């Protein structure tokens, strides 16, 4: 049944000149049929460069939305439009305006995991793999980092010359990893290296051997001589980790971090939208023109 669905997906993809992009946190069956699998930064770059007529984004809403902002003339579809990142909205109304009044030279740095509405009010976007370099390169001393306090705090520690003001938002999936759960894993697997995403709480990062985006964690394992790892990020990365390193061992904190929104992407829904072309993302042009500025600034800084 799955094989039949997959072959229909491949056929339709060819016929419609569609490209399928998938985040590492989507189910493995989705990663298997995608043309490109990656972290947020990689997928944003692919979306910008794509020559396909149709972009099918398997991820959460801010990802498809960003692809549409960068490709207004293309059809951008998502298998499930309700797949949303809760963190993408976690900035209190009026907070950005208030901060701009408080600091004359303020730069609002917006993690790409955010709604178009937040991007419209921001100066530059970042992802977890480029945030440090982009913040370092800004001429501004005062930075309001939205929406993720954990990534913001991690960046602040690496760029002490800036005054980074944190916002009270976080990823509920990464923030749910507890220090005790990680300590238990370390006790069970003392030889394993701890690799963590910067969306985790500071206590987790303090116990980690390496901190990086999902793509950086995967690259770290690929080049490491160690063969046991405790992974503090969403469990979807396991698919790629096992494919690339079949003899290495991977452990997660007891309650495996799982993003239920990412898991809304299924093969059946993917096939359905390729057939029907429903679930197209539409963005108001005036919103798009404002939201593209911080995204373009990010892509121009680091491409």
Which residues make up the interface to ligand SF4 (CB under 6 A)? Answer: 25, 60, 85-87, 113, 171-174, 234, 259, 261-262
Binding-site partner at residue 196 among ligand 13P, ligand SF4, none, CB < 5 to 8 Å by type: none
Nearer to ligand SF4 by C-beta: 226 or 258? 258
Binding-site partner at residue 86 among ligand SF4, ligand 13P, none, CB < 5 to 8 Å by type: ligand SF4
Minimum CB–partner distance for residue 19 and ligand SF4 (Å): 21
Residue 77 CA to residue 59 CA, distance in Å, equals 11
Using Cβ positions, the residue closest to ligand 13P within the complex turns out to be 39
Residue 22 CA to residue 265 CA, distance in Å, equals 9
Minimum CB–partner distance for residue 102 and ligand SF4 (Å): 27
Residue 61 CA to residue 41 CA, distance in Å, equals 15
Question: How far is the CA of 90 from the CAs of 60, 131, 148, 233, 295, in angstroms?
Answer: 15, 18, 8, 20, 19
Nearer to ligand SF4 by C-beta: 17 or 28? 28
Residue 277, sorted as left (phi over 0), alpha (psi -120 to 50) or beta, turns out to be left
Q: Of 164, 155, 163, 165, which Cα lies nearest the Cα of 130?
A: 155
Minimum CB–partner distance for residue 276 and ligand 13P (Å): 26
In the complex, the residues that contact ligand 13P under the rule CB under 6 A are 39-41, 85, 113, 127-128, 171, 199, 213-214
Nearer to ligand 13P by C-beta: 13 or 119? 119
Minimum CB–partner distance for residue 46 and ligand 13P (Å): 13
Binding-site partner at residue 265 among ligand SF4, ligand 13P, none, CB < 5 to 8 Å by type: none
Nearer to ligand 13P by C-beta: 34 or 271? 34
Tokens representing 10 are 């491949």
Question: How far is the CA of 140 from the CAs of 35, 102, 106, in angstroms?
Answer: 39, 14, 6
Minimum CB–partner distance for residue 12 and ligand SF4 (Å): 26
Minimum CB–partner distance for residue 232 and ligand SF4 (Å): 12
CB 295: neighbour CB atoms within 10 A? 22
Binding-site partner at residue 214 among ligand SF4, ligand 13P, none, CB < 5 to 8 Å by type: ligand 13P
Binding-site partner at residue 261 among ligand SF4, ligand 13P, none, CB < 5 to 8 Å by type: ligand SF4
Minimum CB–partner distance for residue 62 and ligand SF4 (Å): 8
Binding-site partner at residue 18 among ligand 13P, ligand SF4, none, CB < 5 to 8 Å by type: none
CB 246: neighbour CB atoms within 10 A? 7
Residue 161 CA to residue 163 CA, distance in Å, equals 7
CB 73: neighbour CB atoms within 10 A? 5
Residue 246 CA to residue 241 CA, distance in Å, equals 8
For residue 126, list its beta bridge partners.
111
């Amino acid at each position: 049944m799955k094989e039949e669905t997959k072959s229909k997906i491949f056929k339709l993809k060819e016929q419609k000149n569609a490209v399928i992009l998938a985040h590492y946190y989507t189910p493995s069956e989705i990663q298997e049929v995608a043309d490109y699998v990656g972290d947020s930064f990689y997928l944003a770059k692919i979306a910008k460069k794509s020559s396909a007529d149709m972009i099918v984004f398997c991820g959460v809403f801010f990802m498809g939305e960003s692809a549409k902002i960068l490709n207004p003339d293309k059809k951008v579809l998502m298998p499930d439009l309700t797949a949303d990142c809760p963190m993408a909205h976690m900035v209190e109304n009026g907070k950005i305006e208030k901060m701009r009044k408080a600091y004359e030279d303020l730069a609002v740095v917006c993690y790409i995991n955010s709604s178009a509405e937040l991007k419209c009010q921001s100066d530059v976007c970042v992802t977890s793999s480029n945030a440090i370099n982009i913040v370092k390169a800004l001429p501004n001393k005062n930075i309001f980092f939205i929406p993720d306090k954990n990534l913001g705090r991690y960046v602040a520690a690496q760029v002490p010359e800036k005054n980074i003001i944190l916002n009270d938002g976080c990823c509920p999936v990464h923030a749910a990893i507890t220090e005790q759960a990680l300590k238990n894993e370390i006790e069970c697997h003392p030889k394993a290296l701890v690799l963590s995403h910067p969306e985790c709480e500071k206590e987790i990062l303090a116990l980690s051997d390496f901190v990086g985006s999902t793509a950086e964690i995967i690259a770290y394992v690929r080049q490491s001589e160690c063969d046991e790892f405790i992974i503090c990020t969403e469990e979807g990365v396991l698919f790629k980790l096992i494919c690339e390193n079949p003899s290495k061992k991977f452990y997660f904190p007891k309650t495996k971090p799982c993003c239920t929104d990412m898991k809304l992407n299924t093969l059946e829904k993917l096939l359905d939208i390729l057939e029907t072309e429903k679930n197209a993302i539409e963005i108001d042009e005036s919103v798009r023109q404002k939201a593209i500025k911080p995204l373009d600034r990010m892509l121009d800084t680091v491409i």
